[in-house]
Homo-oligomer: A and B are copies of this chain.
Amino acid sequence: MTRPAKKSPERMSPALLQGVAEQFKALGEPSRLLLMNLLFDGERTVGELVALSGLSQANVSKQLGVLFRTGWVLRDKLGLNVLYRLADDRTFTLCELMCNRVREQATAAADRLR
């Protein structure tokens, strides 16, 4: 091995690797991302999210469950309703980062076709 080969910054433990992967995976689904995006506006009940998203009630409830278990959203019971809201400020940073990436890739792909 004659190439530079920087010194390792820090090897991620298998457990951390698994944990981080779960976080990413939770956001790696358009339906869940849509729900997160709707929650950018503020807290919403499940019913509101069903109406706004066009997804089925069962599906919305299921995907919210995933987001809740992975710690991306919080919930409060309010009478019959359940209010969901974003749990982490970093959500905005994250999504902006990814959106920029996707947009850059799109323009790069467009340039490649010229």
Residues of A at the B interface (CB closer than 8 Å) are 1, 3-9, 11-12, 14, 16-30, 33-34, 37, 40-43, 48, 71, 88, 90, 93-95, 97-99, 101-103, 105-106
Contacts and interface: CB of A to CB of B under 8 A. Distances in A.
Nearest to A88: B101
Contact of A21 (B12, B22, B33, B88): B33
B37 A18 contact: no
A23 B98 contact: yes
Per DSSP, chain A at the interface is: helix
Contact of A33 (B4, B17, B40, B43): B17
Nearest to A23: B98
Given A14-B30, A16-B99, A24-B24, 12 more contacts: A5-B42, A8-B40, A9-B41, A12-B37, A12-B99, A16-B103, A19-B106, A21-B28, A21-B29, A21-B33, A23-B101, A25-B28
